[in-house]
Amino acid sequence: MPRDLPIGNGDMLVAYDHQFQLRDLYWPHVGMPNHTQGHPQRFGVWADGAFAWIDGPGWTRELLYAADSLVTHVRLCHAGLGLELTCRDTVDYYSPVLFRTVEAKDLFDRPRDIRVFFHVDLSIDESAIGDTVNYDPKLSALIAYKDDRYFLINGTDGRTWGITQWATGAKRIGDAEGTWRDAEDGLLSRNPIAQGSVDAVVGFHLAVPPRGASRACLWLCAGTSYPAVKELDDKVRTKTPDRMMHRSEAYWRLWCRKEHDSLAGLPERLQVLARRSALTIRTQSDNRGAIIAANDYDITSFAGDTYSYMWPRDGALVAHSLALAGQSDLCRRFFTFCAKVISPDGYFLHKYNPTGTLASSWHPWVADSRRTLPVQQDETALVIWSFRQHFQLFRDVEFLRDLYTPLVVEPANWMMSYRDANGLPLPSWDLWEERRGVHLFTVASVIGALEAAAAFSSDLGALDRAAEFTHGAGQMREALLQHFWSDERGQFARMVTPVGGGSYRHDWTFDSSAAGLFKFGALAATDERVARHMRALREALWCQTPIGGIARYQNDYYHQVERHDIRRVPGNPWVICTMWLAQWHIERAASREELDEALPLMHWAADRAFASGILPEQCDPFTGAPISVSPLTWSHATFLASCHMYVHKMQQLAEVAEPAAS
């Protein structure tokens, strides 16, 4: 189930589904661990003897954010109960504190007895074994804990501080569904403690006047000890929830608008989605530097694993989009993280946990009975390429000093050594992590990386090293044109496989990742060979349905919806792939008319976003419904990058036109 509303601060990430059920709670790292394991934290209302959980029938929902912020603005209406709920939730921008506020408004024009219930279903450190939740009379709060993980739950109804209505009990043990059932009669048992697989419910009684409203606020503090969460609770009481929520809203609005008018010239709806994309990327970025691919826990039911890892490729491309948006600090944290996890030999492995440890992988260390490196070489290449793009924008020489050797020289040396006799990279896994060979995207990224390493080396006076890297990139470019391009077909192969004697077997499948040719500078976007390929790619991969969009490649099997008419529907449309086509139009544009050919594709992405502005990985080609994880950080990054590339090219074209006019 997609996550419509992620909120967080780089230490804590909270995500809500399309019914406004809180589903994920990550802390102390973004992506690790998930203290809910994806189980819904129920939210319900008792009104004059009737009860409704928010995931039940009868509700209309409007799930939005406050403009340019990470504060939710959710409107829930239930005609049968005669209620309108306005909910504003946020994670404090500085402290690991989640605020959940609800304002209940009467629609029946009579005094109302309204009771709001929040369900807390934690599996601390991703396990329900050995958890404890107890009522603390000193703080008038619930404390859930295990080992060095403490969660304090407290609140106010606007008249009194502290929790007066609560229940604790067992969940998913025998016949015990969960303590949430205790709320359905509008009263809670006040059981003071439960141990093992447990949950809890907190209730607030609201006296709502006719056509008026009353409000309650719950907060959850996370810490490594009882004193730590007590200190946070004291902070909330002193500063007040309203003040802390207001400062967080102001902080995020300042954060996403730090570059004044950086998106001027784009249609307003694209500007709004670009800022939302930057904020969404921030929720998926750990404060220690890891940029996480996605944190939608429901994918575990399909894959037996999550996307809550740092892939160097995804992270590098996301960092590039952040650099274009002026968010240099997050980029620096990412590159510092990369320098810590890269192998001593100068390459990245598959993916990493946000703590920096090696993550799960399906890449074997043996292929054809031989030892092999389980790498995707583009992951190493793109970190260097992205680092160079960042440096060109911010010229942070002091930052470069410490990272030049581990993040430029050593990986570039490794890439130079990891080549065949023709100068092409040795076989590795492709960016889609499905096939092993020598891939067009990988070759393009390595050329871009070697040229980036050469430029860095030249800047720092290592001219012999710069010449070596430049020669390697040039030799690889020649091999690319010789072994991947076909004049007869008018296209590039997506992959070649060595067959001996310096020859290769070709895979001519159209793959959207051919965009790497111009993205990383292997060839110009205006190169006629690139143009021929991109036009043919558009014809081959555009979904011929009312939804449209570009598929990853022909007959893409991943979450495949249409398995028969693959000429019409080559695969599900992806935001990333459609934005790559938009970026080709932007890069090749020599006039405003050519530049604006990218706009329909960018509007296509905006059409695929939820009302909240969240973008999925891919969409159903017939309904447009989100498929796989949502949000996908990479989707937001490609959209954000496209917006800034568009504005930059628009400014370039205006500068060219101005002297000509004068």
CA distance 317 to 323: 10
Burial class (CB in 10 A: 0-12, 13-18, 19+), 608: buried
**What is the mean pLDDT of the segment spanning 388-411?**
97
CA distance 204 to 216: 7
Give the pLDDT score at 75. Answer: 98
Give the pLDDT band of residue 296 (cuts 50, 70, 90). Answer: confident
**What is the mean pLDDT of the segment spanning 583-592?**
98
Distance of CA 211 to the CA centre of its chain: 40
**What is the mean pLDDT of the segment spanning 84-109?**
98
Distance between first and last Cα of the chain = 57
Give the pLDDT score at 660. Answer: 62
- Which fold, 3-255? Beta-galactosidase; Chain A, domain 5 (2.70.98)
Query: By C-alpha distance, which of 380, 384, 390, 386 is closest to 352?
Result: 380
% of the chain at pLDDT higher than 90: 94
| Number of helical (H) and strand (E) elements in the chain, helices listed first | 17, 28
CA distance 323 to 432: 24
Token readout for 292 is 């996480």
Res 412 pLDDT > 70: yes
For the chain, the average pLDDT equals: 96
CA distance 291 to 295: 11
Tell me how far CA of residue 263 lies from CA of 372, 405, 622, in angstroms.
Answer: 46, 35, 32
Give the pLDDT score at 528. Answer: 98
Res 662 pLDDT > 80: no
Q: Summarize pLDDT for 599-643 with one digit per residue, the tens.
A: 999 999 999 999 999 999 999 999 999 999 999 999 999 999 999
**What is the mean pLDDT of the segment spanning 196-214?**
97
What does the longest C-alpha to C-alpha distance in the chain come to? 87
The domain locations on the chain are 3-255, 264-285+542-662
The more confidently predicted of residues 662 and 456 is 456
Q: Summarize pLDDT for 146-165 with one digit per residue, the tens.
A: 999 999 999 999 889 999 99
> Which bin fits 549, alpha (ψ -120 to 50), beta or left (φ > 0)?
left
Give the pLDDT score at 386. Answer: 98
Q: Summarize pLDDT for 107-149 with one digit per residue, the tens.
A: 999 999 999 999 999 999 999 999 999 999 999 999 999 999 9
Dihedral angle of Cα 279, 283, 288, 290, to the nearest 10 degrees: -100
CA distance 602 to 11: 31
Q: Summarize pLDDT for 226-276 with one digit per residue, the tens.
A: 999 999 999 999 999 999 999 999 999 999 998 777 899 999 999 999 999
Q: Summarize pLDDT for 342-384 with one digit per residue, the tens.
A: 999 999 999 999 999 999 999 999 988 899 999 999 999 999 9
% of the chain at pLDDT higher than 70: 99
Res 576 pLDDT > 80: yes
Query: By C-alpha distance, which of 157, 159, 147, 81 is closest to 118?
Result: 157
Tell me how far CA of residue 151 lies from CA of 97, 200, 202, in angstroms.
Answer: 10, 12, 14
Strands 97-106 vs 50-53: parallel, antiparallel or unpaired? unpaired
**What is the mean pLDDT of the segment spanning 569-587?**
98
Describe the crossing of helices 410-417 and 440-459 by its angle, rounded to 10 degrees.
140
Res 592 pLDDT > 60: yes
CA distance 419 to 428: 11
- Amino acid, single-letter form, for residue 235: K
Give the pLDDT score at 1. Answer: 63
**What is the mean pLDDT of the segment spanning 457-481?**
98
Give the pLDDT score at 96. Answer: 98
